[in-house]
Amino acid sequence: MATVTVKDLPEKLHRQLKARALQHRRSLNSEIIAVLEAAASARKLDPDDLLTRAAALRSRVGGRLTDSDLAALRGAGRR
């Protein structure tokens, strides 16, 4: 494994990373790796695809989302 040293890390960013690490129950080092992995593997959004998916969702729910609709959609990606 490689080692990286970050110099002149702003104090506010350091506090934010420490808070995220605590929230995710990870070490600061593990949190920084997770953040870097997410940033490096993030895919570019296609605006046309996003609008098409939004229109399809809107038509499925009749233009209005209820709490039960939101609960079903949240759970849909976890199966």
Q: What is the pLDDT along the chain (79 residues), one digit of tens a residue?
A: 899 999 999 999 999 999 999 999 999 999 999 999 999 988 888 888 888 988 888 887 776 777 887 788 787 766 5
Residue with tokens 């969702």: 57
Q: How far apart are CA 15 and CA 23, in angstroms?
A: 12
Q: How far is CA 21 from CA 27, 43, 51, 70, 73, in A?
A: 6, 24, 34, 28, 27
- Residues 60 and 52: their CA atoms lie apart, in Å, by 12
Give the pLDDT confidence score for residue 13 in this predicted structure. 97
State residue 3's pLDDT score. 94
Say what the pLDDT of residue 77 is: 67
pLDDT at position 78 is 62
Q: What is the pTM of this model?
A: 0.55
pLDDT reported for residue 50: 85
